[in-house]
Amino acid sequence: MEISSSRFKAIAATLGISFWFFIITSTMGIFSIENLLIFFSFMMIITQVFAIKLSKGLDIFAKINTKIFLGILFVTVFTVYGIYFKILKIDLLRQNSQDESYWITIDKSKPGDVFKQY
């Protein structure tokens, strides 16, 4: 973002701020598409008019916004995988041999059971 133009930074910051506006209003139960469009338009005009003066601030906001968003995404993905693995009783480390687990147990194969595949 440091080598990007100030206009591009303004667009990226507007999208980030609009995303957080959507998240906050949705959790509060007062979201409407009209309010989002009005907010987005207002922020786009303000950030584009003052893009050069706000350039360093927009750069800092973009970095913080990215770290927060990726952190939330990281935690959410691992939480969902943890829940799925717990429900399906999948033992990733294969520490416990369980009867109700979905892991396939591999028996020792005899030399005559192995065939060449071409």
Dist CA 32 CA 35 (whole Å): 5
Write down the pTM of the prediction.
0.56
Q: Express each pLDDT in 32-76 by its tens digit.
A: 999 999 999 999 999 888 888 888 887 788 788 888 888 888 999
Helix and strand totals (H; E) in the chain: 3, 0
Q: Which residue has the higher pLDDT, 24 or 93?
A: 24
Q: What is the pLDDT of residue 38?
A: 96
